[in-house]
Structure 1
């Protein structure tokens, strides 16, 4: 049975939308507690799902099952008068790749489900790493785990969450992402507004591929976070990144018209 972690907005405030967060390789739902609470504080209904299991030998079937699970997660987050829209999907690492692949497929039911998507830390084909991250077969060696944490985040609080959470699967960043999934993620025609987030210190990112993907989509924004690592939603810059996500959510609510425009600035 699929499990969820839910975050609700302050009592008495009208819910502004429904957000479903999809973790990536090795991440449990606890990894997004801080992010979920922050969005919920701005009156968004947030549901964090389990990281999907994608079978490289049955990519179509795996994505189809994941799409059905996403639909169930959204429907299950409905209020008394239905699902509060807009529905925005947020994916990290392979969670982002899975969402991009689903939203880029014409026959996917998820295409009709979401009004927007956030793709954070979308992985490349081992770009700038020389291959998979060397984290050890089972992540048992402390040095290997420290190396994986260094790839993920320099935020001490988040490093502690990952280390202490029983849902974290150490060594997962050393598992290669199927090429077919990456192809589907980067070549799909995502019609909904898309915010792509990447840290400029992320060794698993392919910046050229992300730039091409962002330019190929009709309504996409590529945001680069200075000094951020692979877990761009949960690195030292998490406050600024959350602000960027909330700004995107509010812009989606306002039919992609920015609520705030800078008229004059000294920086």
Structure 2
């Protein structure tokens, strides 16, 4: 595993929580620079790790990564949230379903692939980018990062991993994020998973592709993530309640 990528709250501000990010197939920690920077600006401590492959993620990987985010009292700033994308999302769901993973206050699963593995129809790098994103900035970052493994989305995830992910019933609040135009997603299965959980929210991002955290809608998605983090701090009671609206 390579070194993690860390983002810290601005100096002088109280850290409002910890977010550990597990990338997906072919990605590197640098893939999440934009998200990490934005969450850190809102005073969250963010660490992005890079397991050898998302599906080989272990509880020890998570525990070691979280230990490195400890604050002055020896613990990560609460709430502690683990966020996975693509294979990282599937691996996290499976780990927390088995009760093997370190304690966390919530999960965020972004771009969780369909329960029946679907290989990306991507004969070329441009094809793979089309599956991933319509954002020119994100396309450029992926193309310029020598560590990004091209063709990774064409490698299907293990059926056992996907089955475990969709059978998971994590007891902590869970936010599922999926792109409306993601060809690797099964939105009906995701809706069913969300309904099977005690405290879950499934957010469908209009017009977004597989890399839902980094597509053209990344600002709105980051706002959804921050809103979820802030609501966690209030025992899932939203600070803002719309009383009336004409749009």
TM range (shorter): over 0.9
CA distance in 2, matches of 1:35, 1:109: 24
| Superimposed CA distance per residue, residues 191-239 of structure 1 (whole angstroms, 9 cap, x where no aligned partner) | 0000000011000001111011000011000000000000000000000
Q: Structure 2: where are the runs of 5+ without partners?
A: none
Give 2:93's match in structure 1, choosing from 74, 78, 100: 100
Q: Give the RMSD, CA atoms, in angstroms.
A: 1.4
1:126–1:205 Cα contact (<8 Å) kept:
no
Aligned-partner SS, 1:191: coil
* TM-score computed with the length of structure 1 as normaliser: 0.89
- 2:164 is the counterpart of 1:171: no
1:53 Cα deviation from its structure 2 partner: 2.6
1:124–1:205 Cα contact (<8 Å) kept:
yes
CA distance in 2, matches of 1:231, 1:126: 19
Give 2:173's match in structure 1, choosing from 193, 209, 225: 193
Count of aligned residue pairs for this structure pair: 246
Aligned to 1:224: 204
CA distance in 2, matches of 1:36, 1:6: 8
Aligned ranges for residues 1-267 of structure 1 at < 5 Å?
Answer: 2-53=2-53, 62-63=56-57, 66-82=58-74, 83-106=76-99, 108-110=100-102, 113-125=103-115, 131-136=118-123, 144-267=124-247
185 and 90 in structure 1: CA distance in 2 versus 1, 3 angstrom threshold? same
Aligned-partner SS, 1:247: helix
1:35–1:234 Cα contact (<8 Å) kept:
yes
1:125 Cα deviation from its structure 2 partner: 4.6
1:126 Cα deviation from its structure 2 partner: 6.0
222 and 124 in structure 1: CA distance in 2 versus 1, 3 angstrom threshold? same
1:52–1:95 Cα contact (<8 Å) kept:
no
CA distance in 2, matches of 1:174, 1:125: 16
Structure 1: which 4+ aligned runs deviate by more than 2 Å? 51-55
1:5–1:29 Cα contact (<8 Å) kept:
yes
174 and 104 in structure 1: CA distance in 2 versus 1, 3 angstrom threshold? same
